[in-house]
Amino acid sequence: MRVRVVVVGCGFGGVEVAGELRKRAAARGKRKELELEVLMLDRRARFEYLAALPEILSGKVTGGEISADLSRFAAKIGAEFVNEEVVNINFAAKTVETKGKRAEAGEGVGEGVGEGVGEGVGRQIPYDFLVLSVGAEQTFFGIPGAEERSHSVNSLKGAVETKNALDRLKLKGSKKVRVVVVGAGLTGVEVAGELVDYFEGVAAEIFLVEAAPRILPAFPSANLARRVAKFLSGRGVEILTGEEAQEVSEKEVTFRDGSKRHYDLLLWTAGVKPNRLLERLELQKEKGWLKVDSCLRVAGGRVKNVFAVGDAVWFERGGLRSGQNVEEAERQGRVAAANIVRAVRGRGKGGRKGGGEKLKPYKPKNTTQNPRAFISLGGDKAVIFFRGLAFGVVAYRLKKFVERRYLRRFK
């Protein structure tokens, strides 16, 4: 009997699920090939390599170089791709409701859902198994004016629009340009470094603002933060910590202490929130994030055959929580796909006593307690943070190697 698996959201986690399903469904030894129908859903037409988006600003990469046609990828792995926005899920009827074809390639904030212009006729897509990989989206913490007056690099569309805004500023050329980056986490740090490269030879002031006492607050190492701060400061970035934005007006940011700072361009890199689709779904959550069990099934028991992976997921095991990063999204995607295949083959229905295997529990590695990451700093420099240590030798070249190798799967 043919089994349909619907994957909602085609970022790193969703792409990994779809590809791994095809690999594991293939015939092996005495096992026959599973009759799996894989359907991928996303409102964007192209996959976006998010880790490289800050380099759009400096012109090191183009949108075409760090994105890929999802229809082409789906065809390559024998899946179907539907370029539509998901607006709701009926878990009782096991159907996914879409809004019809939406925005053009590159548009949108979240993975699988979002607001845009132009609507088509939606549909009800049935599933036997469902994977939610809808990601996270930018949050502005309810700060007046922040969303309306800032630019971002949390999507390809946003990065390209920010680059265009920078180009317009540079063309004016009449005064020193002032750019303020709010949020000095990993993305904010990378954006600041790329801005230095962009304004090379041009009079510009770049401010990196962070509400926490130091930059890179999600990383446990103060030494890492000091090292990165020293490097960016040496390149001319002015770092302001302990400064919490309260309001954004035309060309001015007001902070909690009442101080104000003028800007010609404001970039917002301060945090993410759960994808807005999750707000509509009556599922078990933790701080808005989707809770899953040890095998990555949606928690609570009310829904059946629904898995979730990636940034939208709240996963804890042994006191460790999965980080919101590419490594965890990919690893979760592989485990979720393996468990779906086990379930389809009749495994997981009572464990070894029932003649099969139990579903595979997930073990996080890149956790919030022990994160690891490549951090680009501009100037073709980067650091690798791994097991509490920072390494700078060949870090940038290794980061770009990983990027190129990953994107080859879409060729």
Q: What percent of the chain has pLDDT over 70?
A: 91
Residue 382 lies in a domain: no
What is the structure's pLDDT at 157? 97
Stretch 331-349: mean pLDDT, rounded?
87
Residues 165-172: contacts with CB under 8 Å, at least 24 apart: 165/265, 166/57, 166/195, 166/198, 166/265, 169/264, 169/265, 170/199, 170/202
Residue 325 lies in a domain: yes
Co-location of 223 and 123 in the same domain? no
- pLDDT confidence band for 141 (50 / 70 / 90): very high
Residue 329 has pLDDT above 50, yes or no: yes
What's 151's DSSP letter?
A: B
Residue 120 has pLDDT above 80, yes or no: no
Residue 411 lies in a domain: no
pLDDT in tens, 291-306: 999 999 999 878 999 9
Co-location of 164 and 221 in the same domain? yes
DSSP assignment of 234-281, as one string? HTTEEEEES--EEEEETTEEEETTS-EEE-SEEEE---EEE-THHHHS
Weakest-pLDDT range from 8-12, 199-203, 310-314: 199-203
Stretch 85-109: mean pLDDT, rounded?
76
Co-location of 283 and 219 in the same domain? no
DSSP assignment of 287-351, as one string? TTEEEB-TTSBBTTSSSSSEEE-STTEE-EETTEEB-SSHHHHHHHHHHHHHHHHHHHTTTTSSG
What is the structure's pLDDT at 119? 55
What's 50's DSSP letter?
A: G
**CA-CA distance, 249 to 253, in Å (whole number)?**
6
Co-location of 217 and 316 in the same domain? no
pLDDT in tens, 23-67: 998 867 667 888 999 999 999 999 999 999 999 999 999 999 999
**pTM: predicted TM-score of the whole model, two decimal places:** 0.90
Number of structural domains (the chain) is 2
Co-location of 175 and 247 in the same domain? yes
Weakest-pLDDT range from 73-87, 221-235, 354-368: 354-368
Q: Domain ends where: 270, 292, 310? A: 270
Q: Where is pLDDT greater, at 250 or 119?
A: 250
CA dihedral (317, 320, 325, 326) in degrees, to 10, reads -50
Residue 315 has pLDDT above 60, yes or no: yes
pLDDT in tens, 177-207: 999 999 999 999 999 999 999 999 999 999 9
366: nearest Cα among 396, 325, 330:
325
What's 207's DSSP letter?
A: E
What three-state secondary structure class fits 408? Answer: helix
Residue 362 has pLDDT above 70, yes or no: yes
Co-location of 88 and 189 in the same domain? no
What is the structure's pLDDT at 355? 42
At 155, the amino acid letter reads S
Co-location of 180 and 75 in the same domain? no
Residue 106 has pLDDT above 50, yes or no: no
Stretch 349-358: mean pLDDT, rounded?
50
CATH number at residue 319: 3.50.50.60
CA angle at residue 265 from 138 to 57, to 5 degrees?
70
Tokens of 355: 């003649």
Co-location of 133 and 177 in the same domain? no
